[in-house]
Chain A
Amino acid sequence: MIVPSLLLQHAPALLLAVPMLGAFATPLLGRLGSGIRNAWAVLAMLCTLLIAVVLATEVLATGTIVYAFGAAAPHLSVPLDSGGIPIRIIFTVDAMSAFMALFASIVGFAVLLYSLKSQSRNSGQDGYYALLLLLTVGILGMVCTGDLFNFFVFLEINSLAGAALVAYRVDKGVAVEAGLKYAVLSTLGGLLVLFAIALLYGQYDALNIAMIASRMQFTLLDKVALVMLVVALAMKAGAVPMHFWTPDAYSMAPSAVTAFLVVASQASLYGIFRVVFSLYGLALDCLTVGWVLIILGVLSMFVGVTMAIPQKDVKRLMAYHAVSQTGYMLLGVGVGVAVLGNQDLLTAYGRIAMEGGIFHIINHAMYKGLLFLTAGAIFYRTGTRNLNKLGGLGHSMKWTMVFFMIGALAIAGIPPFNGFASKLMIYESVFLFNPLLSIIAMVVSILTLASFVKVFHSIFMGPKLPEYADVREVPAPMLIGMGILALFVILFGIFPQQVVDLLITPAAAALIDQGGYIASILGGA
C-alpha cells in the first residue's frame, strides 16, 4: 500500500487535526440532517483510525517520530539559532504513544458505530458526536505530546469533554451529579498537574519533557512535583484510594461513553508512566516509587473487586471491576519501575512485568469496553440495570449473551481470551519479584470470575420473564460495534505472542529507554 508522502510526513498533526475538524464541523452539518451528521462523524473517526494505523506502522518501522508544530520542517525540533533549546510545541511519538493512539482510535471507532443506534432516541446528538470526537482529541493529544503544558491542555480537554458526556443523559439529575463530581475532581487534578508543571518550569526553564529530563536534578521541589503529578493522574486513572468518582461516572454515563471513558482513564495511566519513566527516569529512587505504584495497584485490585461483588447495578459492578483491573497495570509496570536501576533483574523479569502491564492496558480497553457495551445493549432493550430485575434474556438476546460471555471470560483471565495472556505474563514475572503479590493477583482474578458468573446467571439464565417478552436483539450497528471489540479480544487471546512482539515489546522498550527519548528531541545521545 502506497501512503501519500504528505500524510506520512504530517501524520502526528493530522491525527489531532482530523478529529478536531470533525468535532467542530459536526454542529454545522447537524443542521443538514442527522444522516449526514452521523456519516460525517463516522468518516472523521475512520480517517483518524487510518492515520493512527499509518503512524503506528511508521513508528514501529523507523523509530520515534518528532513533529515540531509551525517549524519549517517537522523534524526541526531544535532550530539552529535557538542555542540547543527545543522551542515550539513538539509531539514526540514513540512506540508507547503509537500503541496508545492505535488502540484508543480502535475503541473510539467501535464506540462511535455503537452510538449511531444507541443514542438515536436521545436529543442533542450534535453535541454528543462533537464531544465524543473532542474526547478522542484529548486522549490522542495526551498520548502523543512531548510537551508538559500541552499535556495539561489535552488533559483538560479530556476532562471537560468526559464530564459533559457523563452528564449527557440528565436522568432526573443523577447523571449530572455524577458529571459534577467527575468534573470537580478532574479540574482539581488538572490544577495539581499545572502546579507541578510550574514547579518544574521554575527550575529548568523548559516545558519539553525531553529537555527537563536531560536537566533533571531530583531536588526537593522535583519530588513535590512528582508526588502531585502521580496523585493527580492516579486519581484520573481511578486507582484506589482516589477511585470514588469511577463507579458514579461510569454507571451514569451512556454505555458507549463509559467504554470510551475507560480509554480516557488509561490515557492518564499513560501519563503516570510517561512521567515516571521519561521525565524522571533513573534520577528516581526507583525502589520507593516502584513500591508506591505496586501498593496502589494491589489496593486497587483488592478493594475494587471486593466492592464489586455486592453491587446490584450491573454498570456499577463493572465500574468497580475496572478499578480492580487498573490495579493489574499498576502492579506490572510498578514492578518494572522497582527494578529499573538493576539491569540483571530488569532482563530477568522487569521487562516481562512491564510488558504484561502494558499488554493489559490494551486488553482491558477491549474487554471492558465490550462489557460496558453489552450492558448498554441490555439497558437499551430492557430499560433497567438492576440485576435483581433482569433475567432470562439469553432466550432473546443471543448475540449480546455471546459477547458478554467473551468479555466476562476475558476479564476473569480464562484462556483462550486476551485477559489470560496478559495476566499470565504479570503472574509469572511478579512471582519472581515477590510471590505474595502474585498470589493476591490470582485471588483477585478468581473473585472476578465468581462475580461475573453471578452476573451472567442473573441476566441471561433462567426462564423467560413476562415483562421482557417482547425484548429483541439490538440493532446491527450496536452489534457491529461490539463485534469489533470481541474480535480483538479473541485475536489477542489466540495470538498473544505475535501481538506482544509486534506492539508491546517496542512500547515497553521505548518507556525504559529514557536516553533514546531525550536524544530524539535534542539529538545526539
Chain B
Amino acid sequence: MVLYNLPFIAAGLLMAFGIAAMLLRRNLIKMIMGLSLVEAGVNLLLVSLGYRAGGIAPIFTNAPRDLMVMPTVQAMTLTNIVIGIATTALLLSFVMVIYRRYGSAEADVVRRLRG
C-alpha cells in the first residue's frame, strides 16, 4: 500500500520543497528552480494517476488487447512540460535583464517597486 502510494507522496514532497525554496531563497534563480520543482511535482502526480499495475505502454500497434496505462495524463504531462520550458525560458530571460540593469539577482536588491 505504501509502495503504491509512494509516487503520490513523492509528488507532494517535491511540491512542498519547491514552494519552500520559492519562499525561503532570496536568489531569483533559486526561486525559479523552486518553481520548476513544483512543476515536476505536478507532473509526477499526473503520470502516477495514469499508472495501472502491470500496464504496458499505450501504443496501439504493439499489443492493443493487454492492460495499458492511461495515455491521457501522459499527454497532459507532456503539454505541461512544454509550457514549463516556455515559462522557465521567459523567467530566466527576465532575470538576465534584471541582472544586467540592477547588477544583482538577489530578491532583497530587486525591490524598486513599492507602495
Q: Which residues of A contact B (CB under 8 A)?
A: 149, 153, 156, 159-160, 163-164, 167, 170, 172-174, 176-181, 183-184, 187-188, 190-191, 194-195, 198, 201-202, 207, 247-248, 252, 311, 316
Contacts and interface: CB of A to CB of B under 8 A. Distances in A.
A163 B93 CA distance: 12
Interface of B: 15, 22, 28, 31-32, 35, 38-39, 42, 45-46, 49, 72-73, 76, 79-80, 83, 86-87, 90-91, 94-95, 97-98, 100-102, 110, 112-113, 115
A176 B91 CA distance: 10
B98 A198 contact: no
Contacts of A160: 83, 86-87, 90
Contacts of B45: 195, 198
Contact of B94 (A156, A180, A198): A180
Contacts of B35: 184, 187-188, 191
Contacts of A181: 113
Contacts of B98: 173, 176-177, 180
Given A172-B101, A174-B112, A252-B113, A167 B94 contact: yes
B83 A149 contact: no
Contacts of A207: 72
B107 to A, nearest CB: 10
A207 B31 CA distance: 31
Contact of A180 (B28, B49, B115): B28
Contacts of B102: 173
A122 B79 CA distance: 34
Contact of A201 (B22, B49, B79): B49
A524 to B, nearest CB: 25
B90 A163 contact: yes
Nearest to B47: A198
Q: Which 9 pairs, one residue from A and one from B, show the smallest C-beta to C-beta distance? A: A173-B101, A180-B94, A248-B113, A202-B49, A176-B97, A156-B83, A187-B87, A198-B46, A176-B94
B115 A316 contact: yes
A149 B90 CA distance: 22
18 contacts: A159-B87, A160-B83, A173-B98, A174-B112, A174-B113, A176-B94, A178-B113, A180-B94, A180-B110, A184-B31, A187-B35, A191-B35, A194-B46, A195-B42, A198-B49, A247-B113, A311-B115, A316-B115
Given A160-B87, A198-B49, A170 B31 contact: no
Nearest to A155: B83
* Residue among B49, B72, B90 facing the most chain A CB atoms (10 A cut-off): B90
Contacts of B38: 188, 191
Contacts of B87: 156, 159-160, 183, 187
A181 B86 CA distance: 16
B89 to A, nearest CB: 10
A482 B80 CA distance: 38
Contacts of A167: 94, 97
A225 to B, nearest CB: 12
B100 to A, nearest CB: 7
* Residue among A149, A172, A198 facing the most chain B CB atoms (10 A cut-off): A198
A201 B73 contact: yes
Given A153-B79, A176-B94, A191-B42, 8 more contacts: A156-B83, A176-B97, A177-B98, A180-B91, A183-B87, A184-B32, A184-B91, A252-B113
A82 to B, nearest CB: 14
A178 B115 CA distance: 13
